[in-house]
A and B are shown apart, each in its own frame.
Chain A
Amino acid sequence: MKTITGAKMVVQALKDQGVEVVFGYPGGAVLPIYDEIFQQNDIRHILVRHEQGAIHMAEGYARSTGKVGVALVTSGPGATNAVTGLVDALMDSIPIVVLSGQVPTFMIGTDGFQEADTVGITRPCTKMNWLVKETEKLSETIHQAFHVARSGRPGPVLIDIPKDVQFATGSYTAPEKAKVSHYQPKVKGDTEAVTRLVEMMETAERPVFYTGGGVINSGKAASQLLREFVDATGFPITSTLMGLGAYPASGKSWLGMLGMHGLYEANLAMHDCDLMINIGARFDDRITGRVADFSPRSKKVHVDIDPSSINKVIRVDLPIIGDVGHVLEDALKIWKARGRKVNKEALAKWWAQIDAWRKVDCLAYQPSAATIKPQYALQRLEALTKGIDRYITTEVGQHQMWAAQFLHFDEPNRWMTSGGLGTMGYGLPASVGVQIAHPQALVINVAGEASWLMNMQEMGTAMQFRAPVKQFILNNERLGMVRQWQELLHGERYSHSWSESLPDFVKLAEAFGCKGLRVTDPKDLDDAILEMIRYDGPVIFDCLVEKHENCFPMIPSGKPHNEMLLSADAEAFRSGAVLV
């Protein structure tokens, strides 16, 4: 049988897995693989500027395409730089495969140059990881890794490959021959349970769909089924940060995002419902607030592919373990077969109640003619990109929440954000990854200046690979979200929440060779946004916004849904006070 080197195997296995792009950074322990990459043209390599960037790019690539993202890093510091990205992908269930170089097998354990216990360090940061000590097993392990990354609840995996394993030869195992049999998570929901769900839906008086990232994970067909189901039943639907776009924001049953910074009507619907149908969401603490007071009068159904998500935080009445797409398909079928019943009268009352909550207009803010309000900037961005199939990534902070509130998503896979880990520095590299996957699309990273600085070196990658990403920085010269918490919860003691000594972003853009724009006056905003969209290349957009704006609504952590902080305007409306 013909044998090939481990390094060749890596490239062959990636090709056989349909990989088109690898985000990576070379170093001593992966040089044999880089040598193979050099000698072929099927796989494109994107040279990043920091390994954390490579992982976030792979995440952005994966989330915007539904495919597995791939990154390649060297041993030691290369691998440790990848750790934040791995945990980010683990928390948000993003399928990525990371290949890391390792010192040769005979040096492992000797504190060799650039040796780190990569599988040890990344074990709790991955869904699964492997140290491959024999070339003979390398290709099969890579195929298994792809299978694990994309099956069941998706997640990051890592394969650590010692340098001698890359040099040595062995026989190649094709993907079809790889042993993946034992890891086959259940995708079909129990029919009895699904029927029970339908029964509950038929009689529910105040139902609500609470959907999450699992719908996106499940694929486009799942979003379609969700739309059909929601529209046919007329039930209201809210989604977590991770699930935005699965049901269109323009849809008639859409309540907006729920949770800590979610909409008033969405949170109150969750609090007061009698039937909560959780589809692919995990009762995160940013959703539940105080667990003991979470939606006290509802029956709760939870559809999730991961049994450990069930009853982890909230005890549910009806668990359905399975893939969202499969379960929705069955549920829809059963519901139709039983005569498409819903409690119409009660639903009408429920919607009347929801409409009353909507009147609070919880996203209202004090407009200003003098300074750009961040909410206004996003409203303008939304208006001026309407009709364009755009992709949005974000950094982490207030701007992220405003983006979730004010930008509307009508399709899945258009919204890439770091939810579970909340990784500042995610957005810029993620936007590059998205743009590499969709070269013609409009890709915008909605950023805060502090987050953006964390991985700004990746502008170099954007320039080199002609990724025309738009960096829309809402610059409040503050670590805004931290400042907000300090104002509301720490006695206005603003401990280290300033962005001091900021660079001149326009000059920085020039230094990178891209376009820089700065806007301070609301009057100039529209033209500048249009200029940004039209410019054929990367743009750094420095949008100087109000420095002390708070993001509302806000449910302080540990509070129940109905103890929500609203902006002064919305609060005045609700409490009946009249603002003159």
Chain B
Amino acid sequence: MSALNIKRGSSSHSAYDLRDSHAQAEESHTLAVIVENEPGVLARVIGLFSGRGYNIDSLTVAEVDHTGHRSRITIVTRGTPAVIDQIEAQLSRMVPVHAVHDLTAEGPSVQRELALLKVVGKGEARIEALRLCEIFRARVVDSTLESFVFEMTGTPDKIDAFAELLRPLGLKEIARTGVAALSRGA
């Protein structure tokens, strides 16, 4: 038996085989990670994602329990079901991590993001921007004769849609917070 079906002298075969990835559909999942609020925790979590090649579509963090020093990190990530499972397991085993919830898997959840959008323009475009602001239930938080800053809260999709419509009307800058999420119900 010649198990190695590689021609002698062939260099196209690397000796280092990379695992064949079972091509499977990617899913988007929102994870809530409750961590000890101590220095380096966020770096550890982010380092896990970059080090193991996972995606981060959005990440928010803030201390939510000031007496217990707990922070909540909300991460929106993408991956095959197997990868999502791995991410959860990898997060769970970190020493400063108290709990990991896959909000996407655990049932319906509310997802909200806040965005600030600056539109610069005059005349008809400016009026149209204001009209869209009303339709999307955004708020004007700053205005000059030539500009508005809109504040809007909603799902990431809704913010995307709003921004898309504002683009031709002079959208200059966007600041987004990333997604915060909670499960629905008690």
Contacts of B36 in A (CB 8 A): 182
Residues of B within 8 A of A (CB-CB), count: 33
Q: A290-B17, A308-B86 are in contact. List 10 more A-B contacts (CB 8 A).
A: A131-B39, A292-B20, A489-B13, A489-B15, A491-B10, A491-B11, A556-B4, A559-B4, A563-B3, A563-B4
CA distance A129 to B44 in the complex (A): 10
CA distance A559 to B13 in the complex (A): 12
**A575-B8 contact, Cβ under 8 Å, with A148-B95, A308-B93:** no
Query: B82 touching A119 by the CB < 8 A rule?
Result: no
**A128-B1 contact, Cβ under 8 Å, with A291-B20, A490-B11, A491-B8:** no
Query: B19 touching A291 by the CB < 8 A rule?
Result: yes
Contacts of A556 in B (CB 8 A): 3-4, 15, 17
CA distance A313 to B11 in the complex (A): 28
A488 contacts B by Cβ under 8 Å: yes
**A492-B4 contact, Cβ under 8 Å, with A123-B44, A312-B86:** no
Contacts of A290 in B (CB 8 A): 17, 20
A419 contacts B by Cβ under 8 Å: no
Contacts of A127 in B (CB 8 A): 95
Contacts of A129 in B (CB 8 A): 40
CA distance A306 to B93 in the complex (A): 7
Query: B8 touching A492 by the CB < 8 A rule?
Result: yes
A513 contacts B by Cβ under 8 Å: no
B85 contacts A by Cβ under 8 Å: yes
A-B pairs with CB below 8 Å: how many? 82
CA distance A485 to B14 in the complex (A): 10
Query: B3 touching A119 by the CB < 8 A rule?
Result: no
A315 contacts B by Cβ under 8 Å: yes
Residues of A within 8 A of B (CB-CB), count: 43
Q: Pick the contact of B6: A128, A148, A489 (CB < 8 A).
A: A489
Closest residue of chain B to A291, judged by CB? B19
Which 8 residue pairs spanning A and B have beta carbons closest together?
A558-B17, A491-B9, A308-B89, A563-B3, A128-B95, A307-B89, A489-B15, A557-B17
A565 contacts B by Cβ under 8 Å: yes
Q: Mark B87-100, 1 if CB is under 8 A from A, else 0.
A: 00110111110100
Which residues of chain B in 74-120 are interfacial with respect to chain A, using CB atoms and an 8 Å cutoff?
82, 85-86, 89-90, 92-96, 98
B186 contacts A by Cβ under 8 Å: no
Quote the shortest CB–CB distance from B70 to chain A (angstroms): 11
CA distance A492 to B13 in the complex (A): 14
Query: A575 touching B82 by the CB < 8 A rule?
Result: no
B43 contacts A by Cβ under 8 Å: yes
Closest residue of chain B to A185, judged by CB? B93
Q: Provide a sorted-by-A list of 26 A–B residue pairs whose CB atoms are within 8 angstroms.
A: A119-B40, A123-B47, A124-B47, A124-B51, A128-B95, A128-B96, A182-B36, A285-B17, A285-B19, A290-B20, A291-B19, A307-B89, A307-B92, A308-B89, A308-B92, A311-B85, A311-B86, A315-B82, A489-B13, A490-B15, A556-B4, A557-B17, A559-B4, A563-B3, A565-B3, A574-B1
Q: Give the dominant DSSP class at B's interface.
A: loop
Mark A residues whose CB is within 8 Å of B.
119-120, 123-124, 127-131, 148, 152-153, 182-183, 185, 285, 290-292, 306-308, 310-313, 315, 485, 488-492, 556-559, 563-565, 571, 574-575
CA distance A188 to B76 in the complex (A): 32
Quote the shortest CB–CB distance from A159 to chain B (angstroms): 12
**A564-B3 contact, Cβ under 8 Å, with A311-B85, A557-B16:** yes
CA distance A123 to B41 in the complex (A): 10
CA distance A492 to B9 in the complex (A): 7
Q: Pick the contact of B43: A120, A312, A491 (CB < 8 A).
A: A120
CA distance A124 to B50 in the complex (A): 10
Contacts of B39 in A (CB 8 A): 131
Quote the shortest CB–CB distance from B129 to chain A (angstroms): 44
CA distance A6 to B8 in the complex (A): 63
CA distance A30 to B153 in the complex (A): 52
Quote the shortest CB–CB distance from A363 to chain B (angstroms): 17
CA distance A564 to B4 in the complex (A): 8
Closest residue of chain A to B22, judged by CB? A292
Closest residue of chain B to A133, judged by CB? B39
